[in-house]
C-alpha cells in the first residue's frame, strides 16, 4: 500500500468519494512515493538473503570479502598429467591466446588465486552470496574441525572429508569441483586455530 492509499483510506466518512479532494491529496502525497520506496528498500533489501547488486557488495565489504571477477572454468585450465601412462588430453596443453574461450587450442595457466575469464564480469549475486555466507561463518567460529566442516557445507554446498595428516595440517577432500579462486579463498578464509594450515587435497 502506498502513502497515497493510506492517506485516502484515513479520510473521515463524510469526505470519502469526494473526487476533487482525493485528487488534491493524491497530488500532495505523490512526491513522497519515491521517498517511501527508498525507505522500504532500506527496510527490505539490505539483508543477506535478499540483497542484490550494490547492497550485496556493501555486505561483502562489511564481512571482509570483495566481489571477485568471474573465473575461467576448470575444464579449460592447463593441467599436468598425474599418470604418465594415462590417456592424452590435447585440450589441456598451453594456450597462446590468454583470453580465448575456445578450449581447443589448449588450457589456460591459472595463478595461485585463480584467473579472471577476461570479460571483466563480476561474480553473480547467487555465488557471491554463497562466498559471503562462508566468510561470515569463518568470522564467527572458533576454528575446530566441526567448524570447518560446517563452513564448507553451508558456504560451498559440499560434503567434504576432513582429516589431519599431521599436527598443524588439515586436509580437505572435496566432492565437488572448485575453481582455483575458491581453493585460495578456502585456504585464506576458512576457520582454523592459530598455526594450522588448511589445504584442499584433490581436484574432482
pLDDT of 90 over the 60 cut? no
**All 3 cell numbers of residue 33?**
512515493
Q: Pick the closest to residue 71 from 124, 29, 6, 129 (CA basis).
A: 124
| The predicted structure's pLDDT at residue 81 | 60
**All 3 cell numbers of residue 110?**
591459472
| The predicted structure's pLDDT at residue 159 | 92
Express each pLDDT in 156-188 by its tens digit: 889 999 999 999 999 999 998 888 888 888 988
**Alpha-carbon span 42 to 149, nearest angstrom:** 34
DSSP 8-state class, residue 198: E
Q: What is the mean pLDDT of the chain?
A: 81
Express each pLDDT in 22-53 by its tens digit: 888 888 888 888 888 888 877 877 788 888 89
pTM over 0.75: no
- Residue 80's pLDDT band, with cuts at 50, 70 and 90, is low
DSSP 8-state class, residue 203: -
**Alpha-carbon span 143 to 191, nearest angstrom:** 4
pLDDT of 95 over the 60 cut? no
Sign of CA dihedral 102, 107, 109, 113: positive
What average pLDDT does the segment 79-96 reach? 58
Express each pLDDT in 180-204 by its tens digit: 888 888 988 899 888 899 999 887 5
Amino acid at each position: 500500500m502506498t502513502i497515497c492509499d493510506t492517506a485516502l483510506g484515513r479520510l473521515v466518512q463524510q469526505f470519502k468519494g469526494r473526487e476533487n479532494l482525493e485528487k488534491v491529496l493524491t497530488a500532495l502525497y505523490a512526491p513522497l512515493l519515491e521517498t517511501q520506496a527508498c525507505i522500504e528498500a532500506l527496510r527490505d533489501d539490505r539483508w543477506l538473503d535478499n540483497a542484490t547488486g550494490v547492497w550485496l557488495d556493501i555486505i561483502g565489504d562489511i564481512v571482509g570479502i570483495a566481489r571477485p571477477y568471474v573465473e575461467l572454468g576448470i575444464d579449460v585450465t592447463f593441467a599436468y598429467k598425474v599418470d604418465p601412462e594415462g590417456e592424452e588430453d590435447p585440450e589441456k596443453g598451453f594456450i597462446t591466446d590468454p583470453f580465448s574461450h575456445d578450449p581447443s587450442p589448449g588450457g589456460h595457466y591459472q595463478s595461485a588465486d585463480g584467473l579472471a575469464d577476461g570479460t571483466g564480469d563480476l561474480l553473480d549475486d547467487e555465488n557471491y552470496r554463497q562466498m559471503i555466507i562462508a566468510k561470515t561463518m569463518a568470522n564467527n567460529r572458533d576454528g575446530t574441525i566441526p567448524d570447518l566442516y560446517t563452513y564448507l557445507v553451508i558456504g560451498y554446498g559440499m560434503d567434504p572429508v576432513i582429516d589431519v595428516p599431521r599436527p598443524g595440517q588439515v586436509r580437505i577432500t572435496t566432492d565437488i569441483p572448485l575453481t582455483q579462486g575458491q581453493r585460495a579463498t578456502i585456504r585464506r578464509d576458512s576457520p582454523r586455530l592459530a598455526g594450522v594450515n588448511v589445504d584442499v587435497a584433490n581436484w574432482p
